[in-house]
Amino acid sequence: MDYAEESFNPMVAVACPACGSRHCHLQATARKAGVVVGGVLGAVIAAGFNGATIGAVNGAVIACIASRRLPATVTGAIGGAIIGFAWGALAGHAVGADIDVHLLGMYQCRECGFEFKA
């Protein structure tokens, strides 16, 4: 993990209650779950809407460039699903990070591995 992943609240220095070390990081349990759930839901929703409405237009352009064998709506739905997954994962990351910081607050010591709530 790099510094950017663990620095949700840089003003708070948390010390491990077991060994006293200040090398503790916030666990990203809700953030990881938010990325997965948000990504899957975003892909499903975007593929459904994009495949049904604008998929034919987007897919026709992609199908002409990539392969003429794929139907335009299928290509558009796949493209929409990829974009939807990215946006859903971003939203899930943001919501999960807030849940980790404000609701869960679970930390892990890098020195001794002790998990605690701060």
pLDDT tens digits along 15-66: 899 998 888 888 888 999 999 999 999 888 877 775 556 656 666 666 666 6
Percent of the chain at pLDDT exceeding 70? 66
Question: What CA–CA distance (Å, rounded) separates 97 from 26?
Answer: 10
Query: Does the pLDDT value for residue 7 go beyond 80?
Result: no
Q: How confident is the model at residue 2 (pLDDT cuts 50, 70, 90)?
A: very low
Please state the length of the chain: 118
Is pTM beyond 0.85 here?
A: no
pLDDT score recorded for residue 56: 61
Q: Around Cβ 65, how many Cβ atoms within 10 Å?
A: 9
Residue recorded with tokens 């701060």: 118
pLDDT score recorded for residue 5: 47
Mean pLDDT along residues 95-107: 89
